[in-house]
Amino acid sequence: MGTDPKGGSNITKGDQGAPEGVPLSGSEPASPAIRTRDLNLWYGDFQALFDVDIDVRQGKVTSLIGPSGCGKSTLLRSINRINERLGYVRTAGTIEVMGHDVLADDVELTPLRRAVGMVFQRPNPLPLSIRDNALFAYRLHRGGKGPAAEEDAVMEKALQEVLLWDQVKDRLNQRATELSLEEQQKLCIARLLPVQPSVLLMDEPCSALDPKATHAVEELLWKLRGEYSILIVTHNMAQARRASDECVFMLMGKVVEHSSTGDMFVTPKSQQTADYIEGRYG
Amino acid sequence: MKERALQSESSGGLEDRIDAAWIWDRIARVVIFAGGVSAIVLIVAIFVFVANEGLGFALFDLDKGQFFGSPNWRPTTEPEGEFGALALMAGTASVTGLAMLIAVPFSLGAAIYISEFATGRTREILKILIELLAAIPSVVWGFIGLTILNPLIIDMFNVPVGLTVLNAGLILGLMAAPIMTTIAEDALKAVPESYREAAEAMGASRWQVIRQVVLPSAKNGLVAAALLGVGRGFGETMAVLMASGHAVHMPTSPFDSVRALTATIAAELGETAQGSDHYRVLFTLGILLFLVTFVINLLADILVRKGGGKRS
């Protein structure tokens, strides 16, 4: 089983070697970016995820869809283990990112979160300058500021990649919280790129944006696809249909259906999926 | 409003009935209004009183050069007292300064622990304990200074007197710390959770989140907490009076006894003839204290508002 060269190999401290697991069928070009098996998750006594098995393909955009409270955000937030901030979360099963078990005891969160970037529902730039925001993760993983020329190059590349450079290049010292929401969200994506994550997790990244900004961010996702594997939670059926390669439909903490976007919207396998897509509930 | 109500009454529409609820409503309005205004009235009255007793003297009769420049406080010398307040100011400043050196790191550490690390029961218990600490009367602190710290300092440092800048500074630091902790913790709690989450999702450790995100965002509130602590230190009387040794003396080391502005007023005002120069110069000290604490509180307030405005 091949592992992705960038980022993937530094998730585990001890690098436990090749993970075991079911070999994928011949049609699959590479190992999945994210793979979960028998993933169960509880918030205190409440079980939020039931035996979730998904494979998110490398270099594709995969949408997680389903009604509110179906567990899609929970699933997303368990992949970079950010939901452990809550303290009362219990997880059982396996989650592998680029072939590495992220729930293993020896996993350190810092490299995991370097390999798995996350974009939140509300743009959450830090109350720092645009420059310091764009370089935050870079400096964090570098262990301090880099040489000025290198920092400038890294920042420009990241901001260029999210199509933000031209708008902000003359005001890099302005506070990022003063940008428009669209610009803030792009900056929140840009700040992940300098540390070369393999996976980007996005939790309804457009829900706080207006239609024009939503369109701009969707374009951006499509552009980043290929280089990054993207898992995106969305409430917006049209968005899932427009801007993803595959869709995972969840209901009550279970995965109901996982298929290519075209198949899911044209010939859904499950009646529940069809009902949801056609707006009969949710 | 009233006219309209009457009109509608005459036209038989919505009438303003005078019943028990109406009367209670009126009474409540008057009481609440009086309560709100009383704070302003009292502040103004206190200021007018203090100014009336001391301001004229301070502006015209007082030798300002002596007051600010001389360390000799001999208010009862005949025929004219000597009113040099420099040693008193130095006393207050040295005790407050030492108190802040002790209280700022302690309360900042405590606030960070409670806000960022402690969870559940630990946190609730700590918060209650700190509020309890803030509720200890200052005379009790003075008592501790007098009976516990005094012999301790004499023993440890082999000095003749234990009622010193060090003693008063320690006591005052311990007194100011709980208040500063509470305010600093509020400032840290006001930093949006989304900032912490954003930084953690990028791989920041807890300490990195605190140092690079939380502390810079809460900076204004933290400075305000320290300033309020300073204000508290300036105004504290009883504990300082008991622990500082109450000797008019320019301090040169932490083992010198000093006398604070507040303690001077408390100790001497009862024994002066009303209207005498001594009486009036004590009010001048009061005006000085009032101005200093007013400016400090104002600064703290401005900083807190500024901090709040930036975040929202």
What is the Cα–Cα distance from A269 to B164, expressed in whole angstroms? 84
pLDDT at B299 over 80: yes
Asked if A113 and B201 come within 8 Å (Cβ–Cβ), the reply is yes
Q: Which residues in chain A are closer than 8 Å to B200, comparing Cβ atoms?
A: 82, 85, 113
Shortest alpha-carbon distance between residue B220 and chain A (Å): 13
Shortest alpha-carbon distance between residue A262 and chain B (Å): 32
Closest Cα in chain B to A132 = B212
Shortest alpha-carbon distance between residue A140 and chain B (Å): 7
Average pLDDT, whole number, for chain A? 86
Q: Who has greater pLDDT, A120 or A21?
A: A120
pLDDT at B274 over 90: no
Shortest alpha-carbon distance between residue A137 and chain B (Å): 6
Task: Name the residue type at position B68.
Answer: F
User: Are residues B98 and B188 both part of a single domain?
Assistant: yes
Q: Which residues in chain B are closer than 8 Å to A112, comparing Cβ atoms?
A: 203
pTM comes to 0.79
| B193-200 CB contacts, 8 Å cutoff, 24+ apart | B194/A120, B194/A122, B194/A124, B195/A124, B195/A126, B195/A127, B196/A85, B197/A82, B197/A85, B197/A120, B197/A124, B198/A120, B198/A124, B198/A125, B198/A126, B198/A188, B199/A126, B199/A136, B200/A82, B200/A85, B200/A113
Does the residue B68 lie in any domain?
no
Backbone angles phi, psi at A35, to 5 degrees: -140, 130
Q: Which residues in chain A are closer than 8 Å to B194, comparing Cβ atoms?
A: 120, 122, 124
B238 contact A CB<8A: no
Shortest alpha-carbon distance between residue B284 and chain A (Å): 45
Q: How many CB pairs under 8 A join A and B?
A: 61
pLDDT at A12 over 50: no
Which of A195-209, B70-84, B100-114, B171-185 comes out lowest in average pLDDT? B70-84
To test the contact with chain B by mutation, choose from A124, A139, A145, A231 the residue with the greatest count of B C-beta atoms within 10 A, namely: A124
Band (pLDDT 50/70/90 cuts) for residue B109 is: very high
User: Are residues B36 and B93 both part of a single domain?
Assistant: no
Does the residue B296 lie in any domain?
yes
User: Are residues B132 and B245 both part of a single domain?
Assistant: yes
Asked if A124 and B195 come within 8 Å (Cβ–Cβ), the reply is yes
Closest Cα in chain A to B203 = A110
To test the contact with chain B by mutation, choose from A132, A136, A203 the residue with the greatest count of B C-beta atoms within 10 A, namely: A136
CB-based contact A107:A30 (threshold 8 Å): no
Q: Average pLDDT in the B118-138 region? A: 92
User: Are residues B51 and B116 both part of a single domain?
Assistant: no
pLDDT at B3 over 90: no
Domains of chain B: total: 2
Asked if B199 and A82 come within 8 Å (Cβ–Cβ), the reply is no
Q: What is the pLDDT of residue B15?
A: 65
Does the residue B71 lie in any domain?
no
Q: Where are the alpha helices (DSSP H) in chain B?
A: 2-10, 20-56, 64-69, 86-112, 120-134, 138-144, 150-157, 165-189, 193-201, 206-209, 215-217, 219-235, 238-243, 261-268, 277-311
What CATH number does residue B208 fall under? 1.10.3720.10
User: Are residues B102 and B218 both part of a single domain?
Assistant: yes
Q: What is the pLDDT of residue A85?
A: 86
B122 contact A CB<8A: no
Shortest alpha-carbon distance between residue B223 and chain A (Å): 18
3-state helix/strand/coil string of B127-161 = HHHHHHHHCCCHHHHHHHHHHHHHHHHHHHHCCCC
Does the residue B124 lie in any domain?
yes
Asked if B213 and A110 come within 8 Å (Cβ–Cβ), the reply is no
pLDDT at B105 over 50: yes
Residues A232-243: tens digit of each pLDDT = 999 888 889 888
Question: Helix or strand or coil: residue B198?
Answer: helix
Q: Which domain holds residue B263?
A: 86-311
Closest Cα in chain B to A127 = B217
Q: Average pLDDT in the B8-31 region? A: 77
The answer to whether the bond into A32 is cis (omega within 30° of 0) is no
Residues A82-140: tens digit of each pLDDT = 998 888 899 999 999 998 899 988 888 999 999 999 999 999 999 999 999 999 999 99
Does the residue B70 lie in any domain?
no
Asked if A113 and B310 come within 8 Å (Cβ–Cβ), the reply is no
How far does Cα A258 stand from its chain's mean position? 17
Asked if B216 and A127 come within 8 Å (Cβ–Cβ), the reply is yes
CB-based contact B245:B235 (threshold 8 Å): no
Q: Which residues in chain B are closer than 8 Å to A140, comparing Cβ atoms?
A: 202-204, 208, 212
User: Are residues B157 and B292 both part of a single domain?
Assistant: yes
Band (pLDDT 50/70/90 cuts) for residue A3 is: very low
User: Are residues B38 and B106 both part of a single domain?
Assistant: no
User: Are residues B140 and B273 both part of a single domain?
Assistant: yes
CB-based contact A79:A89 (threshold 8 Å): no
Q: What is the pLDDT of residue B12?
A: 52
Residues in chain B, total = 312
| Cα first-last separation, chain B | 36
pLDDT at B16 over 80: no
Q: Which residues in chain A are closer than 8 Å to B213, comparing Cβ atoms?
A: 126-127
- Kindly list the structural domains of chain A, giving each domain's residue range(s) and its CATH number in brackets, ordered by start: 8-12+30-122+195-277 (3.40.50.300)
Asked if B203 and A85 come within 8 Å (Cβ–Cβ), the reply is no
Shortest alpha-carbon distance between residue B195 and chain A (Å): 6
pLDDT at B8 over 70: no
Asked if A136 and B199 come within 8 Å (Cβ–Cβ), the reply is yes
Q: What is the pLDDT of residue A8?
A: 40
User: Are residues B56 and B90 both part of a single domain?
Assistant: no
Q: What is the pLDDT of residue A188?
A: 95
Domain limit, last residue, from B18, B45, B61: B61
Closest Cα in chain B to A196 = B202
Task: Name the residue type at position B65.
Answer: G
Q: Taking the alpha carbons of A8, A12, A18, A21 in that order, is the dihedral positive or negative?
A: negative
User: Are residues B33 and B105 both part of a single domain?
Assistant: no
Shortest alpha-carbon distance between residue A20 and chain B (Å): 26
To test the contact with chain A by mutation, choose from B195, B196, B202, B212 the residue with the greatest count of A C-beta atoms within 10 A, namely: B202
User: Are residues B167 and B288 both part of a single domain?
Assistant: yes
Average pLDDT, whole number, for chain B? 88
Q: Who has greater pLDDT, B76 or B168?
A: B168
B200 contact A CB<8A: yes
pLDDT at A5 over 80: no
Nearest in space to A58 (alpha carbons), one of A189, A198, A166, A182? A198
Compute chain B's Rg from CA coordinates: 26
With an 8 Å Cβ cutoff, the interface of chain A facing chain B consists of 80, 82, 85, 87, 109-114, 117-118, 120, 122, 124-128, 136-137, 140-141, 188, 191-192, 195
Asked if A122 and B203 come within 8 Å (Cβ–Cβ), the reply is no
ipTM of the complex: 0.83
Q: What is the pLDDT of residue B309?
A: 45
Does the residue B40 lie in any domain?
yes
Band (pLDDT 50/70/90 cuts) for residue B80 is: confident
Does the residue B80 lie in any domain?
no
User: Are residues B209 and B304 both part of a single domain?
Assistant: yes
Nearest in space to B114 (alpha carbons), one of B104, B124, B106? B124
Q: Who has greater pLDDT, B8 or B78?
A: B78
Question: Helix or strand or coil: residue A243?
Answer: helix
Q: Who has greater pLDDT, B56 or B152?
A: B152
Which of A232-236, B64-68, B79-83 comes out lowest in average pLDDT? B79-83
Does the residue B147 lie in any domain?
yes
Asked if A124 and B194 come within 8 Å (Cβ–Cβ), the reply is yes
Q: Which residues in chain B are closer than 8 Å to A113, comparing Cβ atoms?
A: 200-203
